[in-house]
Structure 1
Amino acid sequence: MQFSSEYYHAMDKYGSVEPIAATPRKDIPLELEKFDSKLTPQELGTTLNPFVHPLEGMHARLKEGAGKVEFEFFGAGKGSKERFTPESIGKYEREDLRNLADINKVKTSVHATVNVQGLAGLGRDGFEDRDREEAYREVRRAVDFAADVTKGGAIVVHTGEWQRPIEEYHKQEGFEGYPGEKKDATFYVVDSNTGKFVSAIAKNRIVYEPIYWTAEEKAKELRLKKTSDGKYVDPNGKEMESTDWIDVDGHYLDARDTEQLFKRVPYWDEDGVKFKAKRMDWKALEDKRDWFNGRYDTNYTTEEIFARTQLENNILQAKGHSLFYGRHYSEQKKEYDAVVKAYKHFKKMEDNVPKEEQWKLFEKEQSRGWLADNLVHNFKKDLNLLPSEHIKKKMRALELDLTHIHEASAASDVQAANHQEVYDKLKTVKDYGIQKSAETMAAAGIFAMEKTHQKNLDKPLFIAPENWDTRQFGSHPEELKELIVKGREEMAKQLETRYGKEEAKKLAKDHIKATLDIGHLNLWRRHFKKKDDESLTDTDKRFNQWMLDQSEKLVKQGIVGHVHLSDNMGFDDEHLTPGQGNIPMKTFMKKMEDLGMNDVIVEPGAFNPVTSPPDTFSYLGSPVYTGTHGQVPQQFKGFQQQHFGYQAPPFYLVGSYVPSEDWKLWSEVPFE
């Protein structure tokens, strides 16, 4: 960009321009003192104002000299006058935007609505396909808009797949979500049938488990043989480890078989008249996890062990209730059948046999044992009633007893079956959620591919998930990488039959790439733990090195296809102008340029929508200069917003600096 004269602003004076140079920042560790970016305005772009019509926003940016812009949307669903959506822009307006960009040689990209926070479909109670479809629909709208307005490139969408404890996932790097997170962090497990959370499991929660017989503890009592290598042999010749559970006869029980789990025998506490149980805190659950995974070559997490233990207890309780109510069912059913038979027998003789004879026959049959025991109990004294009437009362009482057994026992069995179903379908929130995110990304990537072909665009449209909220999965560089890799794998899998394995992989890589937002990445600073013997400067230096290394690694691994620039102080996402926060922005940009990453967007905030792009050029020493004759050209940073530093002031005053007109002669002759 070139200015033909030294006259830049209405307050400037022709000639004798002597700007005061800005003081360089020296308080940011690892920051370069001098760096002149090679990026042109066609490579270092900015966003349009999302609260005005895109045509209005495009005109404004063109007048500012922008060579690259990103359409950003804040509206979702039905748009409004201040919350535009991609669908708020019709065919003619889309054509105008495309032509406007072509005529002015402006490159464009798209940011899907910021209301999309993740692609996994996370809702209040778990993962919902309905919520995932809504997110996918918003991404499709952005892709459809991009296909009409751009010549290819990024369609940015925020990540935010699910909440996870920062300390537990990234403690090895020195991060902590908040003081005390190590003790009370919350985890989630999911019913993979429904996507619902089974339980929120905090590390400070306690679960109890019965203490069961093991091979070693009951070997002597049950006379179990022991091998030379310290194992035990059950009655069927099955070798067992010392900690393996056994049944009442000493047979081996496979802890992976849920049916066998309920043959375990708990220890009885005779003094307490109860079965023994052990208290399991998080450390005990970790020990159980290590034992189980080591014994059976599984990969359960601690939260899964917690949920499985809790569900096992629920199943045991339900099955116990069922057995309690059903233990006398056969005897009561037999008694009921006898009473029904007696009722029919005496009902038949009522018309032909006198009442007194009926009672005699009743007592006679009772003494023979033909009727159920105690059938005539408390009935002999009331001879005004017929025997059949007394039998009917007994029959009704037995009916109610059997109904209670049916309902209570059957309900307990159903409850046990429901718990068993969840038990068999348990998954961690990560295992379930990342698959849902991958499926959404793959579908969006395929749609972007098809739109690229349909519109015959110059370069591929690609879905560009962006690292965002540090509290959500997807914000850490490794998490972002994992999302991209899983999404590409899922897309390649769906395309393999149509294009072949290698071509499918290439297409997936072309149409799914990450957006690296350095401002969002800097928010991890607030979670970075200072070492005891470390100064604040050293902590900042250590964090900055981590941030730069992670950024470089993502680009080198082919994960990143788009970059967002904004600055902050590491506390919140304020979108300061690059260079106004504590990010080593020049060092970061040099790394990006050295790696060939030149798809960069400056994202202004609420307070710098106009000044952020030119200030960024100034800060990065971009090639924007005056065209003087016979002199060294002045760079943009030498005169951008420098009128207050000129030694030669303007010849006139404006605003509040103008003297009052109230104290002025009619002839305008000064009082002096």
Structure 2
Amino acid sequence: MIFDTDYWNALNKKEKETVTINPKQLGYSLGGDPLKNLRAGIGVGAGNIELTFYNAPGKSSRSQGQPSPEAIGKIERQELKELARVNEVGVTIHATPNMGGGGGSFSGFTGQGFSEDARQKAIDEMKRTAEFTADVTEGGPMVLHIDGFERPIFAAGVKEGAKEDTFKNYELEKEKAPLHFVDKKSGKVIGLSREEEIVSAERDANGKIIIEDGKVKLKTETFQDAVEHFKALDQKEKKEYSNEIDYFYKGVKKGQQEIQEGEKFRYIDRANDAEKMEERYSGLIEAYESTDESKQGIMAEALKDQERSQSITSPEEMKQLLEDPTKYLKEKQDMYANERTIWQNAAAGEERKIHDATKELENYQDITTYGVAKEADTIAQSAMQAYEIEKKRKLKKSLWVAPENWAVERYGSHPKEYRNIIEKSRENMTQRLIDQKKMNPAQAKKVAADHIRGTFDIGHLNMWKKHFGGDDKEFAKWMKKEIRPLVKDKIIGHVHIADNFGYHDEHLELGEGNAPIKEFLKVLKEEKFEGKQIAEPGGQREGQLHRAWTSALQIGGSPIYRIDSSTRSWTDIGGSYFGRTQSPSFFVGDYAPTKDWTSWSEVPLE
């Protein structure tokens, strides 16, 4: 759509001029059938169209309007490419955001734990998306949702340097939210309450356990105590732990180990006592049986006195001892032998627990350290696939993956977490290029940065607002502070624009919700952002999806150029029949009468 004068003039407010966007950067996204949606996007005048797939990984439901990239054949792919070329329309691709629907996940997190199978499904889905993208475009972004893993809202971004207490999910979240850890071998996730305490023996200055009134003096340490103690450790001591959460976890487990160690030694002592008694009776049997028969009666009386002095016999046992000393002594020997076995088995059980706990300490890792590494590895593998396809097809532009901030309940949605994911993914790909392609480090780093560039969605970011303590202006201020360095450092390479009221991802027309869109666009302009800015529909009435695109042009102050002097604003194009003194000669949209009862010629019945 080309006009010959700027939309804004001297009568417009100054701030609207400062957020003007280049219409060549602006685009419009549609999900479902790619060819149908490309035609629809061209029909509304969009210069860039993002085609979104909604299939589950490894599946396709084209009959239900959810085809996968693989469901589009060669001829249709060529039609898409030619249609975009003839109409001079740019095309970008959004891989399915429904990864979890088919058991796929970039981090591998499934809700119960981490799965390598889930990661592989995501990698395979990205490969067929990359092949489709290479067939219908000359390169560009392939958007994917950062699915991350669960973490408390109040802790979002704090590990990466964000200010504490900016967000919270519920009143006592900081005290009640569980800590999560992952078994590096199995991917199993376990939780540990923040109300758990580290219980350990108190020691004196020489390291000896303090015993008072015959009891070991114990000390307890809460999670907050552990956080403060971790901060006080020197750098050498801190290297033993990945962070304060790891320090607390290992402290709790070591306290449990001390208890298990104590139980083990108690069982060993009892087993030793039983063994001594077993040996005693074995010796008595041998002595009795080697005694002359004439003297065995005298020895039986002596045994009776000895047993009575041990206070371990009853009158019935005394009688049995006198009647059949050998049988009595043998039963006693067997009893203590069994007792020894029981206590030895108990000690062995505690030893196994200690061994398992030690291995657990070695194998378990806090969920953030583990999950970020897995997500970054999956993204890097997906980017490597795209790079290989790009080179093989000799595309004109880079074919790159574009991880997008998504659900606030998951890691990667906070701007600082988002940066961490992108940077760790680039580091992973850099190392892969060095190892697999024998590329020099500087070149590998450049290629990785070019093939992993984030997609940032302002509508998704706005969902943090429901957890934010301040008002809309304070939220906008926070947003600008977080986003500016991401744009400046080229962490962001692609943008999605949608609106909502800060609760859920409703995709309203821009300006209909309370997302800080103008402030966001202003940051992009000031930092000379050159990527595509895609307006996402979804919350519009039937037949009104295009309003997401035109509202983006309007709220962003995009210039309009006209070929005559009849129109000057976007409302002259859409809805221009409102506010007129005369009635319009036509109806559009919801105001148009249904055609269900018209004749084939559409001539009015009257």
The two structures share one fold, judged by TM-score above 0.5: yes
2:378 maps to 440
1:220 maps to none
**Preserved CA contact (<8 Å) 2:30 2:537:** no
Instruction: Tell me, in whole angstroms, the C-alpha distance in 1 between the residues paired with 2:128 and 2:116.
Output: 18
Q: Are 1:627 and 2:554 an aligned pair?
A: no
Q: Are 1:209 and 2:196 an aligned pair?
A: no
2:533 maps to 600
Deviation of residue 247 (structure 1)? 3.4
1:37-56 pair list within 5 angstroms: 37-40=21-24, 43-50=25-32, 53-56=33-36
**Closer/same/farther in 2, CA of residues 36 and 297 from structure 1, 3 Å limit:** closer
**Among 87, 92, 102, which residue is 1:104 paired with?**
87
**Preserved CA contact (<8 Å) 2:275 2:340:** yes
**Secondary structure at 2:31 match in 1:** coil
1:466-505 pair list within 5 angstroms: 466-497=404-435, 498-505=438-445
Q: Are 1:323 and 2:271 an aligned pair?
A: no
Deviation of residue 640 (structure 1)? 1.5
Deviation of residue 591 (structure 1)? 3.7
**Preserved CA contact (<8 Å) 1:625 1:636:** no
**Among 648, 654, 672, which residue is 2:582 paired with?**
648
Instruction: Tell me, in whole angstroms, the C-alpha distance in 2 between the residues paired with 1:277 and 1:156.
Output: 54
2:496 maps to 564
**Closer/same/farther in 2, CA of residues 569 and 652 from structure 1, 3 Å limit:** closer
**Closer/same/farther in 2, CA of residues 123 and 46 from structure 1, 3 Å limit:** same
1:612 maps to 548
**Closer/same/farther in 2, CA of residues 471 and 407 from structure 1, 3 Å limit:** same
2:211 maps to 268
2:176 maps to 184
**Closer/same/farther in 2, CA of residues 56 and 401 from structure 1, 3 Å limit:** same
| More off after superposition, 443-452 vs 129-138 | 129-138
Sequence identity percentage: 29
**Preserved CA contact (<8 Å) 1:622 1:636:** no
Instruction: Tell me, in whole angstroms, the C-alpha distance in 2 between the residues paired with 1:652 and 1:70.
Output: 32
Instruction: Tell me, in whole angstroms, the C-alpha distance in 1 between the residues paired with 2:165 and 2:329.
Output: 79
1:29-428 pair list within 5 angstroms: 32=16, 36-40=20-24, 43-50=25-32, 53-77=33-57, 78-80=59-61, 81-82=63-64, 83-116=66-99, 119-168=106-155, 169=158, 170-172=162-164, 174-202=166-194, 205-215=195-205, 246-248=206-208, 265=209, 267-270=210-213, 274-293=215-234, 296-298=237-239, 301-333=243-275, 335-336=277-278, 363=300, 381=319, 390=328, 393-428=331-366
Gaps of 5+ in 2: 596-604
2:453 maps to 513
**Preserved CA contact (<8 Å) 1:437 1:483:** yes
Instruction: Tell me, in whole angstroms, the C-alpha distance in 2 between the residues paired with 1:409 and 1:34.
Output: 76
TM-score normalised by L of structure 2: 0.81
| More off after superposition, 149-158 vs 179-188 | 179-188
1:227 maps to none
Higher helix share: 2
Instruction: Tell me, in whole angstroms, the C-alpha distance in 1 between the residues paired with 2:52 and 2:384.
Output: 22
Gaps of 5+ in 1: 5-20, 216-245, 249-264, 531-538, 659-667
**Secondary structure at 1:146 match in 2:** helix
1:525-564 pair list within 5 angstroms: 525-530=465-470, 539-564=471-496
**Preserved CA contact (<8 Å) 1:31 1:587:** no
Deviation of residue 559 (structure 1)? 0.7
Deviation of residue 365 (structure 1)? 11
Instruction: Tell me, in whole angstroms, the C-alpha distance in 1 between the residues paired with 2:561 and 2:571.
Output: 9
Letter in 2 for 1:107: G
Which whole-Å deviations, capped at 9, do the CAs of 1:98-129 have from their partners, x for residues lacking one?
33323333222221221237622223344332
| More off after superposition, 302-311 vs 151-160 | 302-311
**Preserved CA contact (<8 Å) 1:74 1:115:** yes
Deviation of residue 481 (structure 1)? 1.0
**Preserved CA contact (<8 Å) 2:197 2:223:** no
Which whole-Å deviations, capped at 9, do the CAs of 1:183-237 have from their partners, x for residues lacking one?
43433233444443343333xx14152452232xxxxxxxxxxxxxxxxxxxxxx
**Secondary structure at 2:578 match in 1:** helix
Instruction: Tell me, in whole angstroms, the C-alpha distance in 2 between the residues paired with 1:489 and 1:329.
Output: 56
Letter in 2 for 1:627: I
**Secondary structure at 1:327 match in 2:** helix
Letter in 2 for 1:188: H
What is the alpha-carbon root mean square deviation over aligned residues?
A: 3.9
**Closer/same/farther in 2, CA of residues 383 and 165 from structure 1, 3 Å limit:** closer
Instruction: Tell me, in whole angstroms, the C-alpha distance in 2 between the residues paired with 1:361 and 1:147.
Output: 104
**Closer/same/farther in 2, CA of residues 513 and 93 from structure 1, 3 Å limit:** same
| More off after superposition, 175-184 vs 329-338 | 329-338
**Preserved CA contact (<8 Å) 1:3 1:626:** yes
Instruction: Tell me, in whole angstroms, the C-alpha distance in 2 between the residues paired with 1:381 and 1:365.
Output: 14
Which whole-Å deviations, capped at 9, do the CAs of 1:572-604 have from their partners, x for residues lacking one?
221112232334434433442451423121111
**Preserved CA contact (<8 Å) 1:31 1:585:** no
Instruction: Tell me, in whole angstroms, the C-alpha distance in 2 between the residues paired with 1:523 and 1:567.
Output: 10
**Preserved CA contact (<8 Å) 2:18 2:522:** no
**Closer/same/farther in 2, CA of residues 46 and 400 from structure 1, 3 Å limit:** same
**Among 578, 603, 608, which residue is 2:510 paired with?**
578
**Closer/same/farther in 2, CA of residues 183 and 611 from structure 1, 3 Å limit:** same
**Preserved CA contact (<8 Å) 2:108 2:119:** yes
1:12 maps to none
TM-score normalised by L of structure 1: 0.74
Instruction: Tell me, in whole angstroms, the C-alpha distance in 1 between the residues paired with 2:149 and 2:17.
Output: 40
**Preserved CA contact (<8 Å) 2:496 2:535:** yes
**Preserved CA contact (<8 Å) 2:16 2:557:** no
Letter in 1 for 2:146: T
Letter in 2 for 1:613: W
Deviation of residue 344 (structure 1)? 9.8
Instruction: Tell me, in whole angstroms, the C-alpha distance in 2 between the residues paired with 1:300 and 1:134.
Output: 30
**Closer/same/farther in 2, CA of residues 306 and 605 from structure 1, 3 Å limit:** same
Instruction: Tell me, in whole angstroms, the C-alpha distance in 1 between the residues paired with 2:165 and 2:346.
Output: 53
Which whole-Å deviations, capped at 9, do the CAs of 1:158-180 have from their partners, x for residues lacking one?
12312333334244583333433
**Closer/same/farther in 2, CA of residues 442 and 172 from structure 1, 3 Å limit:** same
Letter in 2 for 1:187: L
Letter in 1 for 2:503: F
**Closer/same/farther in 2, CA of residues 638 and 460 from structure 1, 3 Å limit:** same
**Closer/same/farther in 2, CA of residues 598 and 190 from structure 1, 3 Å limit:** closer
**Preserved CA contact (<8 Å) 2:301 2:322:** no
Q: Which has the larger radius of gyration?
A: 1
